[in-house]
Amino acid sequence: MLLSGFLLWFLFLKPYDYLVSFKVKALPGTINQSIKLWNTSLVGAKIERSEDILVLKQTVLYNDSIFQYHYKIDPINDSTSMVKVYVTDMEHSFNNRVTHPLFHTDFEKRVKNSMVELSDNLKEHVSRFKVKIDGESEIKETYCAFISIECSQIEKALGMMKNYSILTNTLVTHNIELNGRPFIAVNNWNMKNDSIKFDFCYPVKNMDSVFQHPSISFKKIKGKRALKATYNGNYITSDRAWYALLNYADKNNINVEHQPFEVFNNNPNMGGDELKWSVDVYMPISAP
């Protein structure tokens, strides 16, 4: 009776064909974004929208098969997470379940190879940046010129690069004195579809009057309390510090606004070791 019940579950009711598990020295947000980035390198792969950074579903087309990867990310501590990947061959599921316990199938080999590739990509990515939580700090009040940008998280740095010369050249042309490092203020972060709306800003001296420009506006950034982290690495992935700050806030019962604020301390155009590039990253603390 027990055997027949197990066979019924294994062949027909089990919600996956194969399970792979591995540990990564990274927080769930970093793993979530890295899986999505890896997905873009695969032919015939698609990520389904998820309500939670801890869960992802991916479909990959392999010849006549459609593989579904169901990722579950479980944080172990502040530096390590467990990734469990439940894999199903949507076209040949029953055949895989019958043959897998008896043979090393092509399905098993393909899954193992893809997960080794993902694991290696994750380890390599994590080695290319650092995040240090500095604790409670303050976003300083400043007056700035800015350009509003709407894009995906991964396109944030590209959006800045496209608009950097427009912003700086226009300010220089109008003899406006710069007053600090460039920064971004995120106004909306949609974590369900990884999209952001932000202002790319350059601090300037207060002016009695401003010029008119189709893309550039001026405003005062109000000072506010915030959690702060220091990010070192390529600016493309400085959002890894956003997730680290959210994790810190959750662990310490601090209510924060999901509106990251980043101050860039280096000019990437000058090159050099990316691990020496630094960003001061803030997550505003919600008003009581």
Convert 199-229 into a string of H (helix), E (strand) and C (coil): EEEEEECCCCCCCCCCCEEEEEECCEEEEEE
Q: What is the total count of domains within the chain?
A: 2
Torsional sign, CA 26, 31, 33, 36:
positive
Q: Are residues 119 and 138 in the same domain?
A: no
Where among 83, 103, 127 does a domain terminate? Answer: 127
Q: Are residues 144 and 265 in the same domain?
A: yes
Where among 106, 127, 148 does a domain terminate? Answer: 127
Residue-range definition of the domain harbouring residue 29: 2-127
Residue 53 predicted with pLDDT over 80: yes
User: What CATH number has the domain bearing residue 59?
Assistant: 3.30.530.20
Taking a C-beta distance cutoff of 8 angstroms, is the pair 163, 110 a contact? no
Q: Are residues 83 and 178 in the same domain?
A: no
Q: Are residues 138 and 250 in the same domain?
A: yes
Q: Are residues 115 and 146 in the same domain?
A: no
pLDDT tens, 171-215?
999 999 999 999 999 999 999 899 999 999 999 998 777 888 999
């959006």: which residue's tokens?
Answer: 159
**First-to-last CA distance in the chain?**
60
Q: Are residues 249 and 214 in the same domain?
A: yes
Taking a C-beta distance cutoff of 8 angstroms, is the pair 99, 109 a contact? no
Which pLDDT does position 15 carry in this prediction? 53
Which pLDDT does position 194 carry in this prediction? 93
Q: What order do you get walking across the sheet with 55-62 strand by strand?
A: 18-24, 81-89, 65-75, 55-62, 45-48
Interior CA angle at 46 toward 23 and 32, to 5°?
Answer: 30
Longest dimension (CA), the chain: 86
Residue 226 predicted with pLDDT over 90: yes
Residue 254 predicted with pLDDT over 60: yes
Q: Are residues 103 and 147 in the same domain?
A: no
Where among 82, 112, 127 does a domain terminate? Answer: 127
The model's pTM: 0.89
Closest CA to 111 of 184, 119, 56: 119
Which pLDDT does position 279 carry in this prediction? 98
Which pLDDT does position 196 carry in this prediction? 98
Q: Are residues 81 and 221 in the same domain?
A: no
Q: Are residues 90 and 173 in the same domain?
A: no
Mean pLDDT over 238-243 rounds to 97
Q: Are residues 70 and 192 in the same domain?
A: no
